[in-house]
């Protein structure tokens, strides 16, 4: 594994209001991180999902939070870096945390159960973990205390003794033939699934919601369009049949907007407007 990579299982405090668990604390812990860019990428991933409690355990670079590559990869999440802490031991990083989630997919002879993030988060928030095998009673109260996501070194993942301390091993479902995820990318997946489990954020519209045309506007447009269709000989006023009612139904189903009404009326106006004679028509008249 190269210095920038991590096992797909090496994928992973919220000051924002959390919809389903307002008292829950969330912490992301990076253990022995060797690549400065991953620290910046992790900060960015956390901020996009509304988390800001980042703790580094004995990173390769003591000044990693201030390194240029870290700052560049954070891409605006400088507040997360500013609030981040560097500690010497995992015990310090886990202070106040009750439910520990390892992110290690390497098979081990024993240890906590392995689950996908979504599967585990569903059980956790429903309070169903205390009845599970190998789950401590503390897990039942996790929603009222602290949940920590532990990520190991890019080079060798999490140590066995660190995994054994956790309540679960989270494994991101990935291609079994190529399961290697970059550390920051893996953290982003876990952070996204955790935010969704907590209630998520509403989708923000990329464009404003268009104003639909009301019945009077549609009726006015249809009357104008009827004149245009007559002007070009498409509609016989002596035998209109059901063309206009059918068009009325078509526009009702389409849910036309006010802007679209303006376009259609502009088309009708041009259909009614007398068109200038072509050169051949002028010659023919002469």
Is residue 142 located within the same domain as residue 265? no
Mean pLDDT of all residues in the chain? Answer: 84
Is residue 220 located within the same domain as residue 183? no
The answer to which of 20-29, 75-84, 167-176, 207-216 has the lowest mean pLDDT is 20-29
Is residue 126 located within the same domain as residue 232? no
Average pLDDT, integer, range 72-85: 95
Average pLDDT, integer, range 45-54: 96
Q: Residue 24: give its domain's CATH number.
A: 3.40.1280.10
Task: With respect to residue 72, please indicate whether it lies within any of the assigned structural domains.
Answer: yes
Task: With respect to residue 143, please indicate whether it lies within any of the assigned structural domains.
Answer: yes
Task: With respect to residue 206, please indicate whether it lies within any of the assigned structural domains.
Answer: no
Counted domains in the chain:
2
Q: Where are the alpha helices (DSSP H) in 49-163?
A: 68-74, 78-83, 90-93, 117-125, 160-163
pLDDT at 207: 86
Is residue 110 located within the same domain as residue 155? yes
Is residue 159 located within the same domain as residue 246? no
Is residue 53 located within the same domain as residue 186? yes
CA–CA separation, 122 vs 98, rounded Å? 17
> What is the per-residue pLDDT across 108-126, written as a single tens digit (0 to 9) for each?
677 799 999 999 999 998 8
Average pLDDT, integer, range 132-144: 48
The last residue of a domain, from among 172, 198, 224 = 198
Average pLDDT, integer, range 146-169: 92
Q: Which two tokens stand for residue 58?
A: 């004995």
Is residue 260 located within the same domain as residue 129? no
pLDDT above 60 (res 136): no
Strand, helix or coil for residue 174: coil
Residue that wins the pLDDT comparison between 11 and 269: 269
Q: Residue 254: give its domain's CATH number.
A: 1.10.8
> What is the per-residue pLDDT across 181-193, written as a single tens digit (0 to 9) for each?
899 999 999 999 9
Is residue 192 located within the same domain as residue 219? no
Task: With respect to residue 165, please indicate whether it lies within any of the assigned structural domains.
Answer: yes
Is residue 230 located within the same domain as residue 100? no
Is residue 24 located within the same domain as residue 160? yes
- CB-facing half-sphere around the CA of 29: CA atoms within 13 A: 33
Is residue 244 located within the same domain as residue 191? no
- Predicted confidence band of residue 245 (pLDDT cuts 50, 70, 90): very high
Is residue 264 located within the same domain as residue 190? no
pTM of the model: 0.71
The last residue of a domain, from among 132, 165, 198 = 198
pLDDT at 63: 93
Task: With respect to residue 134, please indicate whether it lies within any of the assigned structural domains.
Answer: yes
The last residue of a domain, from among 137, 165, 198 = 198
74-95: buried (b, 16+ CB within 10 Å) or exposed (e) per residue?
Answer: beebbebbeebebbeebeebbe
Average pLDDT, integer, range 73-89: 95
User: For residue 242, what are the domain limits?
Assistant: 215-285
Task: With respect to residue 118, please indicate whether it lies within any of the assigned structural domains.
Answer: yes
């Amino acid at each position: 594994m190269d210095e920038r990579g991590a096992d797909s299982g090496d994928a992973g405090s919220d000051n924002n209001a959390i919809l389903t668990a307002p008292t829950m604390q969330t912490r992301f812990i990076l253990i022995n991180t060797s690549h400065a860019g991953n620290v910046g990428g992790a900060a960015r991933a956390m901020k996009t999902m509304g988390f800001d409690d980042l703790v580094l355990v004995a990173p390769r670079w003591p000044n990693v939070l201030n390194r240029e590559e870290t700052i560049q990869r954070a891409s605006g999440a400088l507040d997360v870096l500013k609030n981040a802490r560097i500690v010497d031991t995992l015990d310090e990083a886990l202070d106040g945390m009750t439910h520990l989630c390892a992110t290690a997919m390497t098979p081990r002879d024993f240890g906590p159960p392995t689950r996908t993030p979504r599967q585990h988060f569903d059980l956790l928030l429903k309070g169903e973990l205390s009845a599970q095998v190998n789950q401590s009673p503390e897990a039942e109260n996790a929603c009222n205390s602290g949940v920590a996501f532990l990520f190991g070194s890019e080079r060798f993942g999490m140590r066995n003794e660190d995994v054994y301390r956790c309540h679960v091993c989270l494994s991101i479902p990935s291609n079994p033939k190529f399961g290697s995820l970059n550390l920051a990318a893996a953290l982003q997946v876990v952070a996204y699934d955790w935010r969704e489990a907590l209630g998520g954020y509403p989708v923000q519209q990329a464009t404003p919601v268009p104003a639909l045309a009301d019945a009077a506007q549609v009726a006015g447009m249809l009357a104008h369009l009827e004149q245009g269709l007559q002007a070009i000989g498409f509609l016989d006023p002596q035998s209109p049949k059901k063309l206009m009612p059918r068009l009325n139904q078509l526009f009702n189903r389409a849910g036309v907007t006010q802007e679209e009404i303006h376009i259609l009326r502009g088309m009708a106006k041009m259909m009614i407007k007398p068109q200038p004679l072509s050169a051949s028509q002028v010659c023919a008249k002469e």
